[in-house]
């Protein structure tokens, strides 16, 4: 299995900018708008996968060093292809920020979702 770089815990204790992704997001547009608002993406953010990937790999406009994205479930879970795309973009961003010192990106899911997420990302 691939290492996702995600944090799986039921009681996250993080500081810095925290973006809470609500339960039950079934719309790509709502998910991307939620991320854009929570992460204070620039006005040019296009609310699509490419723009999301570009912005989450940048974050230069954020003064906070620590950035946590907390999930209570897997967004877009009923659309496997979109869920995989979302998780792949997050995994890539987490890996990118592991080698940078300006920000630390933490993507957090409940521990009970670890096997499901690892199965989804292994199906790529």
pTM: 0.92
Q: What is the pLDDT of residues 28-70, one digit of tens each?
A: 999 999 999 999 999 999 999 999 999 999 999 998 889 999 9
State the burial class of residue 13 (Cβ atoms within 10 Å of its Cβ: 0-12, 13-18, 19+). Answer: exposed
Closest CA to 7 of 61, 59, 66, 49: 66
- Residue spans per domain, the chain: 7-122
Q: Is the Cβ–Cβ distance between 107 and 7 less than 8 Å?
A: yes
pLDDT-based confidence at 11, cuts 50/70/90? confident
Residue with tokens 């999930």: 71
**What is the Cα–Cα distance from 82 to 34, expressed in whole angstroms?**
16
The residue to which tokens 């906070």 are assigned: 64
* E strand or H helix that includes residue 117: helix 114-122
d(CA 18, CA 77): 22
The answer, yes or no, to whether residue 76 has pLDDT greater than 60, is: yes
- Homologous superfamily of domain range 7-122: Barstar-like (3.30.370.10)
For 79-123, write each residue's pLDDT tens digit: 999 999 999 999 999 999 988 888 889 999 999 999 999 999 987
């Amino acid at each position: 299995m691939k290492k996702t770089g995600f944090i799986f815990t039921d009681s996250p204790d993080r500081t810095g900018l925290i973006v809470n992704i609500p339960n039950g997001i079934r719309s790509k547009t709502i998910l991307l708008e939620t991320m854009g608002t929570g992460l204070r993406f620039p006005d040019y953010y296009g609310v699509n996968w490419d723009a999301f990937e570009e912005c989450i790999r940048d974050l230069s406009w954020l003064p906070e060093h620590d950035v946590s994205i907390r999930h209570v479930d897997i967004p877009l879970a009923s659309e496997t292809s979109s869920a995989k795309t979302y998780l792949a973009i997050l995994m890539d961003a987490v890996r990118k920020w592991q080698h940078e010192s300006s920000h630390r990106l933490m993507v957090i899911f409940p521990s009970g979702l670890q096997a499901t997420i690892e199965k989804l990302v292994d199906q790529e």
